[in-house]
Chain A
Amino acid sequence: MSLNVKKSRYDLFWKSTYFVIIGVGILLLWYATKEVEYVWRWYRVPQYFIADVEVNVRAEIEGEVARIERSGETVRITVEGRSGEKETYPAPAGEVRVYEGDFIFPGDILAVYEETRPGILLQGLWLTLKVSFIAIAFGILIGLLGGLARVSRNPCLRWLSITYIEFIRGSPLLVQIYLWYFVFGTIINNLLAEMGFSPISSLWYGVASLAIFAGAYVAEIVRAGIQSIHRGQTEAARSLGMNYIQSMTHVILPQAMRRILPPLAGQFISLIKDSSLLGIIAIRELTKATREVVTTSLQPYELWFVCAVLYLILTFSLSMFVQYLERRTLI
Chain B
Amino acid sequence: MSSQATSTGGAAPEAAPVALAVTGISKSFAGVHAIRNLSFVARKGEATALIGPNGAGKTTVFNLVSGVYGVDAGAVTVNGVDVTHMPSRRRIGCGIARSFQNVRLMDHLSVLENLLVGQHIRAASLTDLLTPYRLFPNHRWRQEARQALADNGLERYANETVSGLPYGVRKRVDLVRATLAGASILLLDEPAAGLNPSETNDLRDHLNLLVAQGLTLVIVEHDMHFIDSICSNVVVLNFGEKIAEGPLSVVRQDPEVRRAYIGDGEN
Q: Are both chains from one complex? A: no
